[in-house]
Structure 1
């Protein structure tokens, strides 16, 4: 028995009064369209996203640390913590992604099993994901859920905290790359 592929619930974010979509709606629509192309389901796309995340953090580590200092006056050990934890998570997902993507057998009622049926959990991505970053750990708590969502095959929209303008500006500059 095969269950048809499900699609995430479609939602619309309110438009401006003049009928023009707001900036968030445009970004969300692009992410939804990319997800619906099914490109995000493959292993290669997910690894590429993880590699890009790692490159962004490694190549711009000093700039992110300076932004954390500018936004908060964070000491250097906290700055490094905000960078190294997401890097560790990228490494974990890169090393374990094939296993995490694999179908997982599950027990089914004996009556069904006796008739030759089996149960599997198929791990499918959900769709476009919004990650809203808090002010107190603007890199770590924004990127950790984003890394997990990308590894799961979802597209991600990042919303850094308004109270961390220097860090948010770096995300706006480097994420599109």
Structure 2
């Protein structure tokens, strides 16, 4: 019977039990060939390593400040790269980033409008070509009809017969 660790039975004493070693699991041998990574994977690893390094530095600074009881001035902020900047500078940088983003959005909107205008012009050209093709096809059909009329019309008038089924 299996007992949970928190269950206690009366009259049962703890006993020491010897547990044999776990059997060894076979592991494949270490490869002698170096691990080949793609250029993208290596770049991602570099970026991740750099971010971890920045975070480590930032955490070390914060820890040092906490241990020293250091009170940072309120007008200077420390960025993850360790550079001190004032709130005004950060605000200016934020505004420039917003301006750049707005300019890019306007440019994308203009490109989209130009693309839609080109698409409409292309569709108009296609419909014009189709109607021109329809006119030419109509003229050809009329010519064939006239040719067949001359073949169908004879000098004798035909009698119309009514057939009842």
TM-score after normalising by structure 2: 0.23
Higher strand fraction (1 or 2): 1
Higher relative contact order (CA 8 A, sep 6+): 1
